[in-house]
Structure 1
Amino acid sequence: MVKTLNAPLVGLESRGPMPAARTPRRIGGLGGVAAVAAAFTLLQLVLVRPGMGLGWDEAVYVSQVSGHTPAAFFSAPRSRGISLLVAPIASWSSSTSLLRVYLAVLSGLGLFLALRIWRGLFPERVVVLAGVLFATLWVTVFYGPEVMPNYWVAIGALAGVGCFLRAQADRHDRPALWGAGVSAALLAWMRPTDAVWVVLPLFVLLVCVRRWRRPRLLAALVVGLGSGVVGWVAEAYVSFGGLGARLADASRIQGGLGWNIAVLDQLRSLGGQTLCRPCDSSLPAPQLIAWWFALPLLAAVGLAVAVRGRRTARTLLPLACAMTASIPYLFMIGYAAPRFLLPFYALLALPVADALVHLVTTARRAWRPAVVTLAALAFAGHLAMQYVVLEDAVSRSTAGRQEWARTAAELHRLGVRPPCVLNGYEALPIAFYAGCSSAQTQGHNANTTRQDFLRTARRTPTATLTTEEEGPPGYARDWPSHRFGDLRIHVSPAARAGTRE
């Protein structure tokens, strides 16, 4: 295997064969990578806390496979991969804590497998440091145990690019070939549109650069992508009126995709906002976002180190895939969420780690203690800032989800119990907590007509939720209204008839 990895990656490695990755001091076997993955799992369990309730999007994904609550409306941009991933737990248990532990362990295993692929392509200490850099970002720790697809897109991207490079180095490496296909499938099942952006540089090399052509590798990627995309396209025709209609709906829900510089929006979201829409807040404090500005500088140093070490392809390809993965979220969307850039951070971690190792190890001997100390202090400060943001994000998310749970309990007290229907402000997540269906007649989650909703309300316990500032909709003006926190709960006659005091 070592011999095959030292073979030329023809095309981009124009200066001759790739030298063996120099590892002056190996971290025994897979111990370093395993330690990073285990620590990542532990961080999730300790800092995010398994008892944190499910968020809005999580409620949608879990409800698709849950045996305890009706399936919520599944809008056009979504894909079914993350629902299938949590089905082994969510299909029989309503325990959020059990689901969080399951995902924390699974995300640690995913990180271990993805990093393991890069051993031999980069020195082991670089791979371990890359894992540390990615696994300690607040957004990575927060979304590892969440029922959201973005972390798994990042893992698929990291593993897929590594398998691609291995398959290029040795055309007889069948595990790498299979790994590329499985990684492409993971990407496509989680988010088909993201998958296309991530693998774009790989397809360009396979199709347009003669020396990089590998028909079997191309077939593996196509089959892997197809396994997820075909289902998404079929669902488009069954539920959305066709592929064009689904893509148009997805664009509309996301505010209309097109040229839109969202770099500042992403910076604003780094202060701990899980969703920045509309994104009109002030920028976070400089110390909270300084690391974001260091990334491109360190990545450039990493590329220079790779060119000098005659291993350009190993660094340039993850950089290229990171860039294409970030394009829709930095330049084509009108809002921001920090999770969108997880694939970007995962792929960028390798060249950044390579740059940091190079800067520390090549310093003059007299200066090396000072350089190491400075790097350690900078990293400690970076970690401190990350976990300040993480604690804030967890606290705010937990508070919001507890409020949904309290509202669900109040609905039950008012007679809105399963089978029941909710409509109005934040009806979708509250309906999940209450065990109800959610029915919207307008907006991004519209899934019924006003007439059908009123017909249901006459025979099923129903409530419409509004804010204090809003008045009730016309059909609910005669329904009893109850104030609960910042909400007004308008309860249908069918619910009142079933109230038990």
Structure 2
Amino acid sequence: MTTTVVVERRPATPVGVRRPRRVPWLALVACAYAAVQLALVVPHTAHVLGWDETVYVSQYDPRVPAAYFSSPRSRGVSFLVAPVMAVTDSVLALRIVLVVLSAAALYAVFRVWRPLLGDVTTALAALLFGGLWSAQLAGSQAMPNLWVAYGAVAAVGWFLRAPGEPRAHWWLAGVLLATTLVRLPDAGWLALPLLIGAVCLRARRRAVPFVLGGMAVGAVQWVAEAYARFGGIGERLHRSSTTEGGMAFHVNVAHAWHSLNGPQLCRPCTVPLTRPELTLWWLALPLLAALALGRAAHDRKARPLAVTALPLSCALSLAFPYLFLITYSAPRFLLPAYALLSLPVAALVTRAVSAGRRAAPLTAPICLAVSAQLATQAALLPGVSAGVGTVSARYQAAAHALNSLGVRPPCLITGPSALPVAYDAGCASAETRGNNASMSSGALLDRVGREPFAVLVPEGRQRPRFARTWTPHPLPGTRWTAYVPRR
């Protein structure tokens, strides 16, 4: 069985006749995406980095020791921000660069779909995805999930365009290479439906070596690091599973729903659902996806079924580990799935609106629903971004307080929140247990007399035994107490 994707070609314009200028809808969406970030996100996060961000950024920041890089992480984001950190330590500069890059990437990856879906549908898909508060917050953050989403959109688009365009296979391989660098496990879940589709559809079989080759080249660094730091691929995968709480079948859908409007990390996920009226779109997504697939199956003359079925399949594959293999959640985890689902949903909306008189009664409700969705996301964004800035500012306040106590570079900080605080203080960080355990207790104590040292202990917890004679220093506004050895 063969399936051919028809790439839209515009008819030639007669000589002497001016073609009307097309409205650059997709470019306007990308510009609006950048403007929203600059107006509502960056002002709250312009001077501080979040916990995970400090891990990625510190790897190639020449001014601070690199934080412990745990086994589940991949280094693509660190590579992305390394050129900025080589030039400046300004968080504001990093935020602005990431805003520009994320907006340009939004335009570039959805533009891949323009020959498949048309200008308006492609722009609407970008708007639906870029309008999510989690996507707007992620645009200026040094985090992997948004870039996996971009890679997924581009990879599926180039896969569908490959039979009729000679260079599409190479673009597909390049996108999968970059996505694998950013987050190898997600790239694997993305590639799985692509490989199944390539095997099942004769016209797509030439894509198999490009899919496998792109992933293989992208995984070279991860594999080399697995042997250099973790004892091999199997051991790294085992440690990754342990860090994630044990990768096994868990129905995690309720946790994903509860964390939809925050917190940024729900682990353990015991928080109540906030603003349930603003989560209806999430519950409607499966229904909209099913309607889009049914409409595409019914109307194959207008557009091949694969244009709808493949992004849906890849979205389900990318969402599966976060909905059924872990026991915690974060809003950013499902960004790749949302990005792919936006394409068939946008096609469903534009078809309904342009169906003529038969769909006239539906046009107004559909436009109202889309507008309400964008408005509710915009209403959530300022509060969420302010909350992220507040938490990150607490790390910075603790770092400044420790510097004033004499804990200055070269120095070492340990404790449950050591990684982000140490980065802001210019210190190395170490933990002896937990997901970020990087040093034994003996090795840690060997450094006590050789450099400034502090232990951070949250309110309500006991200090470690080795610090029972150290001087406590409550850090104002942070909910932590620092224990510093007497000199």
Same fold (TM over 0.5): yes
Tell me, yes or no, if structure 1 residue 174 matches structure 2 residue 169. Answer: no
SS at match of 1:68: coil
Residue equivalent to 1:371: 362
Identify the residue that residue 325 of structure 1 maps to in structure 2: 318
* Equivalence map 1:40-439=2 (5 Å): 40-49=33-42, 51-168=46-163, 170=164, 173-214=165-206, 217-310=207-300, 311-362=304-355, 364=357, 368=360, 371-439=362-430
CA drift at 1:425: 2.7
Q: Which amino acid aligns with 2:241?
A: S
Q: Which amino acid aligns with 2:259?
A: S
Match of 2:474 in 1: 483
Aligned with 1:39 (options 32, 37, 58): 32
Query: Partners in 1 of 2:422 and 2:20 — Cα distance?
Result: 50
The one of 455, 459, 463 equivalent to 1:468 is 459
CA deviations 1:42-72 (Å, max 9, x no partner) are 1111111151511110000000010121100
Letter in 1 for 2:264: T
**For 1:433-457, what per-residue CA distance to the aligned partner results, in whole angstroms no more than 9, with x for missing partners?**
1000001111111111111111101
Contact 2:353/2:363, CA 8 A, preserved across alignment:
yes
What letter matches 2:156 in structure 1? V
What whole-Å deviation, never above 9, does each CA across 1:313-355 have from its counterpart, x for those lacking one? 1111111111111110111111001111111011111100011
Residue-pair matches, total: 473
- Whichever residue aligns with residue 85 of structure 1, its letter is L
The whole-number CA distance in structure 2 between the counterparts of 1:353 and 1:432 is 42
Counterpart-to-counterpart distance in 1, 2:415 and 2:348: 51
1:80, distance to aligned residue in structure 2 (A): 0.5
Q: CA deviation at 1:19?
A: 8.5
The CA distance in 2 between the partners of 1:471 and 1:119, in whole Å, is: 58
Shift of 1:382: 1.5
For the structure 1 residues 191 and 377, does the alpha-carbon distance in structure 2 shift closer, same or farther, using more than 3 Å as the test? same
For 1:363 and 1:286, the matched residues in 2 are separated by: 35
Q: For residues 161-217 of structure 1, what are the alpha-carbon distances to aligned partners after superposition, in whole Å with 9 as ceiling and x for unaligned?
A: 10011102x1xx233122101110111000111001011111112234444311xx3
- Percentage identity across paired residues of the two chains: 42
C-alpha distance in structure 2 between counterparts of 1:417 and 1:43, whole Å: 37
Give me the whole-angstrom Cα distance separating, in 2, the residues matched to 1:180 and 1:30.
28
Check conservation: 2:7, 2:116, Cα contact below 8 A.
no
* 1:3 aligned partner: none
Q: Are the counterparts in 2 of residues 59 and 432 from structure 1 also a CA contact under 8 Å?
A: yes
For normalisation by structure 1, the TM-score amounts to 0.91
- Find the aligned partners of 1:428 and 1:18 in 2 and give their Cα distance: 51
* 2:6 counterpart of 1:11: no
**Contact in 2 for aligned 1:184/1:221 (Cα 8 Å):** yes
Question: Measured at CA, do residues 177 and 475 of structure 1 come closer, stay the same or move farther in structure 2, by a change above 3 Å?
Answer: same
Give the match for residue 14 of structure 2.
none
1:479 is displaced (CA, Å) by 1.0
Q: Secondary structure at the match of 1:39?
A: helix
* Cα deviations by residue, 1:88-116 (Å, 9 ceiling, x for unpaired): 10123110110011011001111111111
SS in 1 for 2:357: coil
SS in 2 for 1:188: helix
Query: Which ranges in structure 1 are unaligned for 5 or more consecutive residues?
Result: 1-9
Deviations 1:287-309 (A, max 9, x none): 21011112122222222232233
Letter in 1 for 2:269: C
Secondary structure in structure 2 of the residue aligned to 1:488: strand
CA contact (8 A) 1:134 1:346 kept: yes
Q: Give the AA of the match of 1:162.
A: G
The structure whose RCO (Cα within 8 Å, separation 6+) is larger is: 2
Whole-angstrom CA distance in 2 between matches of 1:75 and 1:30: 46
Mean Cα displacement is larger for which, 272-281 or 204-213?
204-213
Counterpart of 2:137 in structure 1: which amino acid? Answer: F
TM-score, structure 2 as length reference:
0.93
1:356-397 residue CA offsets vs partner (Å, 9 max, x unmatched): 1122222536x72x5333233322321222123222211111
1:22–1:373 CA distance, 2 compared to 1 (3 A) = farther
Amino acid aligned to 2:419 = L
How far, CA to CA, are the matches of 1:148 and 1:393 in structure 2? 16
Query: Which residue type is aligned with residue 413 of structure 2?
Result: L
Query: Which secondary structure state, in structure 2, belongs to the residue aligned with residue 251 of structure 1?
Result: helix
Deviation at 1:469, TM superposition (A): 1.3
CA contact (8 A) 2:262 2:330 kept: no
- Rounded to whole Å, the distance in 2 between the matches of 1:190 and 1:433 is 24
Letter of the 2:468 counterpart: R
Alignment partners' CA distance in 1, 2:134 and 2:383: 12
Q: Give the Cα–Cα distance (whole angstroms) in 2 for the partners of residues 245 and 27 of structure 1.
A: 60
Q: Distance in 2 between matches of 1:434 and 1:457?
A: 17
Aligned alpha-carbon RMSD (Å) = 2.0
Tell me how far apart the structure 2 counterparts of residues 441 and 458 of structure 1 sit (CA, whole Å).
18
Q: Is the 8 A contact 2:6 2:116 kept in 1?
A: no
What amino acid is the match of 2:333? Answer: F
Against the structure 1 CA distance between its residues 22 and 378, is the aligned structure 2 distance closer, same or farther, given a 3 Å change threshold? farther
Distance in 1, Cα, partners of 2:234 & 2:278: 41
Q: Could you tell me which amino acid in structure 2 is paired with residue 322 of structure 1?
A: A
